[in-house]
């Protein structure tokens, strides 16, 4: 589904990603862990096509297409969803209008007619129930005045609406209390199918108690330095990232 080879990316001339290699198959959940500044969020942004970053080397193939050739909106319509670490507020734009525009853009891309108002509202209702988000939130402007936890829930709701092939969740656990964490994680688990894949970016093992990864990668200084099963997360929790650093020096 996703194949990243030797990906290098920089911002303002400073190299952040220094040769990432990553293969993700349909239905897999990959966790990417690592200390602050390792390049985790940069990787997420580069996959989504944020122009702030320059890709200097390497290739990314997604669903058989050269991802780096596509605009951010086309990547979204190809099925990449980025759950933002800090979701953006858009005052005055209702969540309904925002989602309707987004859903219909996805449909147009697939050659489908836009949804009728009634069908769209039914879809909203179903997805709201699925991810346990309150109508009080979806009736407001996009993320405007939401708490940190509410914003993260709204990300998962949008993900449910857009049904991506690959969801990249960038520190979705940051700023969440334990109840919100459970709701968000439940949402992600309910949306999982045999075809779609998830990349979970996190600092802490905590989230991985709820979203169980197939593979755990450790990103350090712009490279993936260790890849193993889910037990790696526990090991990291116990030993900290210094252990990886020491191992690298050896």
| Number of chain residues interacting with another protein (CB under 8 A) | 33
Out of 30, 40, 77, 153, the residue judged to bind another protein by CB under 8 A? 77
Q: Is the dihedral of CA 85, 86, 90, 91 positive or negative?
A: positive
The tokens for 68 are: 């780096």
Which is closer to another protein, CB of 108 or CB of 239?
Answer: 108
The tokens for 235 are: 């090991």
Quick check: 210 binds another protein (CB under 8 A)?
no
Which is closer to another protein, CB of 30 or CB of 77?
Answer: 77
Instruction: Give the closest residue to 62 by CA, choosing from 25, 27, 17.
Output: 25
Q: Would you call 140 exposed, middle or buried from its count of C-beta atoms within 10 A (0-12, 13-18, 19+)?
A: middle
For residue 241, what are the CA distances in angstroms to 133, 220, 225, 247? 35, 9, 11, 10
Quick check: 84 binds another protein (CB under 8 A)?
yes
Quick check: 68 binds another protein (CB under 8 A)?
no
User: Residues 134-173: x/- map of binding to another protein (CB under 8 A)?
Assistant: -------x----------------x---x-----------
Please report, as ranges, the residues that interact with another protein according to CB under 8 A: 48-52, 71-73, 76-77, 81-82, 84, 87-94, 97-98, 101-102, 104-106, 109, 114, 141, 158, 162
């Amino acid at each position: 589904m996703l194949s990243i080879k030797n990906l290098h990316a920089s911002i303002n001339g400073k190299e952040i990603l220094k040769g990432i290699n990553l293969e993700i198959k349909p239905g897999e959940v990959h966790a990417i862990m690592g200390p602050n500044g390792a390049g985790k969020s940069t990787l997420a942004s580069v996959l989504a096509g944020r122009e702030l970053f320059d890709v200097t080397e390497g290739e990314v193939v997604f669903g058989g297409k050269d991802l780096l050739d596509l605009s951010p909106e086309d990547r979204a319509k190809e099925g990449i969803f980025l759950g933002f670490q800090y979701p953006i507020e858009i005052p005055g734009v209702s969540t309904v209008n925002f989602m309707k525009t987004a859903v219909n853009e996805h449909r147009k891309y697939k050659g489908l007619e836009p949804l009728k108002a009634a069908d769209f509202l039914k879809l909203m209702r179903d997805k709201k129930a699925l991810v346990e988000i309150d109508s009080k939130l979806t009736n407001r402007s996009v993320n405007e005045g939401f708490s940190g936890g509410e914003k993260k829930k709204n990300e998962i709701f949008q993900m449910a609406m857009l049904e991506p092939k690959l969801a990249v969740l960038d520190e979705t656990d940051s700023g969440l209390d334990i109840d919100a964490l459970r709701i968000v994680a439940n949402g992600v688990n309910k949306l999982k199918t045999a075809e779609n894949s998830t990349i979970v970016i996190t600092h802490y093992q905590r989230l991985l108690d709820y979203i169980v990864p197939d593979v755990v990668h450790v990103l350090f200084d712009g490279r993936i330095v260790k890849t193993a099963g889910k037990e790696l997360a526990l090991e990291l929790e116990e030993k900290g990232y210094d252990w990886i650093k020491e191992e690298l020096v050896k």
